[in-house]
Structure 1
Amino acid sequence: MPRLALFAIDLVAVSLLVFGLYFPRHRRRDLVVAYLGVNVGVLAVAGSLSSSTVGAGLGLGLFGVLSIIRLRSTELDQHEVAYYFSALALGILGPLSGGPAWFTPTLMALILVVMYLGDHPRLFRTYHRQVMVLDSALTDRVALVAQLERILGARVHAATVERVDLVNETTVVEVRYSYPSSQSDRVLAEAR
């Protein structure tokens, strides 16, 4: 398959990833620019490295350095990291022209399908994660979980205490919880 066609397929794929999947679901405009920029930048660098005598190892090393710098510069949620690496992978796949003509477009489509399904709003829609600050210093795990379930009106699956302040009587806790399906539908409807 001609390289220009692969580049065009990459641009279509990253547009679907960013404008069809990520932005409608998460609404972070700043990451739209980041995902597009990393994809096109990686596509350009990988395209130029694939046609030169510079080794692929150097190119992949550069991508690794770029990833580390970007991921350490701001805190990203795990789903945002997944989109980041999907944009990165699409950019790396764009200049690959070895193998059958269908191979690279199929891998790009696979990335899009996995991201569509893995980040679908209906998948695990009753499960939530939240960091809470409680107005009491709780050191008893059973009491902590009971209070969280009472406040949230949900079943707590995990509660990780991040900090207990005995002076100000507060507890910071990361809680993972779920609502029954019918209650989750009501909570989602109220949030809209």
Structure 2
Amino acid sequence: MQNFWIALAANMVAMLVLVCGIYYRRHFRKDLALAYLALNFGIFGVTMLLNGSGAGAGLGLGLFGILSIIRLRSDTLTQEEVAYYFISLAIGLINGLHPDPAWLSPALSLAMVLVMFVADHPAFGRRTMRQTVTLDTAYAQQHQLHAALAELLNAKVLRTVVIELDMVRDLTIVDVRFRANTAAGKRRELLDAPSIESIPAPASAPQPQVAGERDLAQRQGR
């Protein structure tokens, strides 16, 4: 019984740190944060019940595996969100089984949270990006494709995977991994920014006339 309460506390702390402290602060999706918590605690409860009953734990794991596949296919998720999805599932399974010794579940949960904190840290590969680019020219040669992408993205092209090459419509669809040239991008922003001399000065407001000047103007008009 002691293992159960330790595992429950470890599951709650690990998921609060993972979802509220790491995932939401970096990806800002409230709906998936709720899905991760619901998935984790649901698997934790069912695994705990199956572990203490006559039914095999394999039945429950297979059922939740099918539900996970359906959930992943019903919505468009990024690979980072899929990673959080399976980590939440794994933490629920580990703590639901609450194996001996009692410190094993908290230690494994902490290790998984630390792995996600480091692997999904913004400083890790922050200049390396991936995009699917559609070009209005059919590039049959790889060096021409790399040169066009490097100029278009203002980056160093690391790898390209041509998804579609249409010579009839003169079209190229390519999956490109690249490293952004941050220094060049900053210089371009500074060059494109308007200078102080080019900003038009605001029109000056008309100066109010004093009473003597207004009377003189009225007499001259008469």
TM-score range, shorter chain: 0.7 to 0.9
Q: Secondary structure at the match of 2:97?
A: coil
**Unmatched runs of 5 consecutive residues or more in structure 1:** 188-192
Q: 1:49 to 1:184 in 2, by over 3 A?
A: farther
Aligned to 1:71: 72
Q: 1:78 is aligned with what amino acid?
A: Q
Whether the 8 Å contact between 2:6 and 2:102 is mirrored in structure 1 is: no
**Which residues of 2 match residues 109-188 of structure 1 at below 5 A?**
109-180=110-181, 182=183
Aligned to 2:200: none
Q: 1:29 to 1:167 in 2, by over 3 A?
A: farther
Whether the 8 Å contact between 1:153 and 1:179 is mirrored in structure 2 is: yes
Q: Secondary structure at the match of 2:174?
A: strand
Using the TM superposition, give the Cα deviation of residue 56 of structure 1 relative to its aligned residue in structure 2, in angstroms: 1.5
Cα distance in structure 1, aligned partners of 2:152 and 2:113: 38
Aligned to 1:30: 31
The structure whose RCO (Cα within 8 Å, separation 6+) is larger is 1
Q: 1:2 to 1:101 in 2, by over 3 A?
A: closer
Alignment size in residue pairs: 187
Q: 2:172 is aligned with what amino acid?
A: T
Using the TM superposition, give the Cα deviation of residue 170 of structure 1 relative to its aligned residue in structure 2, in angstroms: 2.5
Cα distance in structure 2, aligned partners of 1:176 and 1:67: 29
Cα distance in structure 2, aligned partners of 1:141 and 1:172: 13
Q: 1:12 to 1:148 in 2, by over 3 A?
A: same
Whether the 8 Å contact between 1:134 and 1:170 is mirrored in structure 2 is: yes
Aligned to 1:43: 44
Q: 1:91 is aligned with what amino acid?
A: G
Using the TM superposition, give the Cα deviation of residue 167 of structure 1 relative to its aligned residue in structure 2, in angstroms: 4.3
Using the TM superposition, give the Cα deviation of residue 29 of structure 1 relative to its aligned residue in structure 2, in angstroms: 2.4
Using the TM superposition, give the Cα deviation of residue 132 of structure 1 relative to its aligned residue in structure 2, in angstroms: 1.0
Aligned to 1:190: none
Q: 1:100 to 1:2 in 2, by over 3 A?
A: closer
Whether the 8 Å contact between 1:43 and 1:92 is mirrored in structure 2 is: yes
Using the TM superposition, give the Cα deviation of residue 183 of structure 1 relative to its aligned residue in structure 2, in angstroms: 5.5
Q: 1:184 to 1:53 in 2, by over 3 A?
A: farther
Q: Answer with 1 or 2: which has the greater Rg.
A: 2
Using the TM superposition, give the Cα deviation of residue 4 of structure 1 relative to its aligned residue in structure 2, in angstroms: 3.1
Cα distance in structure 1, aligned partners of 2:65 and 2:27: 26
Q: TM-score, normalised by structure 1?
A: 0.88
Instruction: Quote the RMSD (CA, aligned, Å).
Output: 2.1
Deviations 1:43-74 (A, max 9, x none): 12112111211111112212221222222222
Cα distance in structure 2, aligned partners of 1:115 and 1:156: 27
